[in-house]
Structure 1
Amino acid sequence: MLLLVFGGGTLVLSSLLPFVVKPLLMRLGIMDVPSERSSHDRPILRGLGLAVLIAMMLSLVAVFLFALSVAPGADASKYLLAIGVGTIAAGLLGLGEDLWGLSVPVRSALLLIIAGVSSAAMLWIADQSEEAASSRWVLGLNVAALPLWVLVVLCIYGVLFISSYINVANFMDGLNGISGFHGVIAGLTFSLAGGLTGAVWLAVSGLILATGFAGFLPWNLTKPGAFLGDVGSYLLGGAIAILSFAAFVDGLPFLATIGPMVIYFGDVGVTLVKRVRAGHKWDEPHKEHVYQRIQQLGYSHVWASGVAALCTLLTSLLGLASIYADIFGSLALLVGGLTVLIFYLALPRILPAREL
């Protein structure tokens, strides 16, 4: 019932709010003009991720208040509060970038603050928890049993992990459908993980993520089209990374929490290394990501985005399987996930070119 109410509510809000948000964006003149990084050839409205942000924000606030009324001191309400605050903050940072443009130092500092507060909050909740899920999973993390110095290391890891993935999601938002598909798959993966492990807060918040971006897809894929903008890509990266880190410190195996992120991390990491080795500046606009090179072979936006989504789905399913795997099974699943990544990275060389 919780999944139906909050997931369905988010889907309805995300699908309908663009009718309100779109005229506002048009009055503000927030358009995406084609550049060296663009895969489109005409100005298109951007910033429609604001509708997704509002939909997810309302749902996250509602589910937090519900959890607070049912069990005020339970971990669920604490996790939902931390997830909601971090996710909304990431989206608002992207909105600021869309509206005013932020300098690199300011944007980077705010990203680190959001990631730092989110990481510290998750670790504190897990450390104080008396209902940790880690004891139930062979390879789960038991934060409450860790010494202080390990918690500090985990917090630093969380800061780098969350802030970097927000940037990764922003870099990968370059084709119609790719971010919407990613949000749906990642959200459903976390929702299923929560259902399998009894973490209701993860199941509900994951479904809110999935339905939030599912509502955006029709607006993105039908003419005249519209883009998420930084508000949407920052929201996407922040929500996925914060949910992943929260699930990890709550005791889910690492592979189960990282599965939806493997393809994105791999694409961005390999592309940046190649550019640096070629003598290019890593932060210059470009169209050298794997998904962009697939589209440049003559495949449609939806086709190229679908390929990335399918590979993400495969790594996500392999990650979920690790919930019930021992160390040897997890190693086999890790090899399987890396095989999918290698296959994805090789696609621009494998796929035949199509006539444009």
Structure 2
Amino acid sequence: MNTVPYFAHPGIATLALPRHLALFAGLALFSGFVVRLMIAIGVPDRPDARKAHTRVMPKSGGVGIVGAFMLGILLLYRYGHVSRLAAPVFLGVIAAAALIAAVSLLDDLKDFPFAVKLGAQCVAAVVAVGSGISAVRFDLPLIGGVALGAAGPVLSVGWILFVTNAMNFIDGLDGLAAGTTLVTCLFLAGIAGLHGGFFVYTTALLLAGGVAGFLPFNWPRARIFMGDVGSQFCGFMLAVLGLAATHYQHVPLSFLVVPLLLSGVLLDVSFTLARRALAGRNLARAHRGHLYQVAHRAGVDPRIVAVVYWGFAAFGGVVVIGFLNAATAWKPLVVFAPLLPFALWAGFVIRRARAVNLGDWG
């Protein structure tokens, strides 16, 4: 049962859409301004064997995303009585997000060991889940809702950690992580708004505004990289919004919504981790063996690779809409639909890698 006061009413998002679009545009402009400052500051990202770029580039452009999002959240907390949650949950989520952003920015500057980053992620995830953002049930096609009980908080923390790191892993080519986040946020905002979940609707729109201001500086040719401060923050917020969508909605959404939207990212990371585990590789060691990296190394234009992953997110959005409206008997088929385009992509990358004799994927 939802124990947090719920303020959303159907139809409010539609009535306020012009103001929300103005807020989106304003946050995009603010984000772009901050990104320009970060280009001038020039936090260096030096090339090495596991990176795609061959010259020193500025990074930490994600500061623009974080700054715009936090500005939007302050406005939401002050004026957005319809969209915000009760103070303990709201403040807990924002505190956790701020912690992720701060530690990730320091990581961009100091290059912390993985254990330090993981520790900070764990603390942030526990803070968010402890504030009330936690899965209490899992809806399975044909079976229905399965109560998670005491396992809910543990699984929720694991989910947040997985998505946070998945977005960090996928941020290796111009525009890939940012574009995927933008498409995901726009679909999530639209779907949540139509179902009366105005915290998720508004928060996804705030994140989308920040990313929209950053993306022109990162694609089609990057002038700055997102850095861990951007990729981890985006992953963390998307994971949290996926959990919030199962609680704070006029019509609660399935937990599967965000996994379907991020299907391309999550399948790439899962495929890569499984392949490396079977090969006896160190899963914590940096590498260039993700499918998107192999495709680039095999000669596929990085702009095309980015657009492919944006397409996965858009396809996932269509699948979510179909899943939410499908008859119960069809839901199992719909939910597995993203496997087909990913399998086609994986097959293409494998053939391309063999054609150019790429050898060990790493």
Normalized against structure 1, the TM-score is what? 0.84
**SS at 2:203 equivalent:** helix
Aligned to 2:108: 98
TM-aligned CA deviation for residue 319 of structure 1: 1.8
1:76 and 1:345 map into 2 onto residues whose CA distance is 44
Contact 2:25 2:209 in 1 (8 A): yes
Q: Of the candidates 154, 157, 171, which is equivalent to residue 155 of structure 2?
A: 157
Query: Across the two proteins, how many residue pairs are aligned to each other?
Result: 333
2:34 and 2:64 in contact (8 A); partners too: yes
The equivalent of 1:310 in structure 2 is 311
**What's 2:11 paired with?**
none
Q: Which residue of 2 aligns with 1:294?
A: 295
The CA distance in 1 between the partners of 2:183 and 2:51, in whole Å, is 24
Indicate which of 173, 183, 186 corresponds to 1:185: 183
Counterpart selection for 1:6 from 20, 23, 31: 23
Structure holding more helix per residue: 1
1:242 and 2:240 are equivalent in the alignment: yes
Three-state SS of the structure 2 residue aligned to 1:47 is coil
- Distance apart, 1:306 and its partner CA: 0.7
Q: Residue 61 in 1 paired to residue 74 in 2?
A: yes
Number of the residue aligned with 2:226: 228
Q: 1:174 matched to which residue of 2?
A: 172
- Measure the CA separation in 2 of the matches of 1:140 and 1:62: 38
| Native 8 Å contact 1:61 1:84 kept in 2 | no
Shift in Å, 1:341: 2.7
Does structure 2 retain, via aligned residues, the 8 Å contact 1:76–1:201?
Answer: no
Consecutive unaligned residues of structure 2, counting only runs of 5 or more, are: 1-15, 357-362
Query: Is the CA contact (8 Å cut-off) linking 1:79 and 1:201 kept in structure 2?
Result: no
Taking the aligned partners of 1:139 and 1:257, their CA distance within structure 2 comes to 20
Once the two structures are superposed, the pairs formed by residues 1-356 of structure 1 within 5 Å of their partners are 1=16, 2-24=19-41, 26=42, 30-68=43-81, 75=85, 80-123=90-133, 150-221=148-219, 225-250=223-248, 251-350=252-351
Paired with 1:297 and 1:106, the residues of 2 have a C-alpha distance of 33
Give, as a single letter, the amino acid of the residue that structure 1 aligns with 2:80: A
Identical-residue share of aligned pairs (%): 23
Query: What TM-score does the superposition give when structure 2 sets the normalisation length?
Result: 0.83
Conserved? CA contact 1:178–1:308, under 8 Å:
yes
Runs of 5+ consecutive residues of structure 1 not aligned to the other structure:
128-133
CA RMSD in angstroms, aligned pairs only: 2.8
Kept in 1: contact 2:68–2:209 (CA 8 A)? no
Q: Distance in 1 between matches of 2:273 and 2:125?
A: 22
Q: 2:38 touches 2:61 (CA, 8 Å); kept in 1?
A: yes
For the residues of structure 2 that align with 1:12 and 1:76, how far apart are their CA atoms?
29
Query: Structure 1, residues 165-210: CA drift from partner, whole Å, max 9, x if none?
Result: 1111111100001011111011112101212201111111111112
CA distance in 1, matches of 2:133, 2:175: 34
Q: Which residue of 2 aligns with 1:131?
A: none
Once the two structures are TM-superposed, the CA of residue 48 in structure 1 deviates from its matched residue by: 1.1
| 3-state SS in 2 of match to 1:348 | helix
For residues 342 and 93 of structure 2, the distance between their equivalents in structure 1, rounded to whole angstroms, comes to 28
| Cα gap change, 1:293 to 1:114, in 2 (>3 Å) | same
Of stretches 273-282 and 173-182 in structure 1, the one that deviates more from structure 2 is 273-282
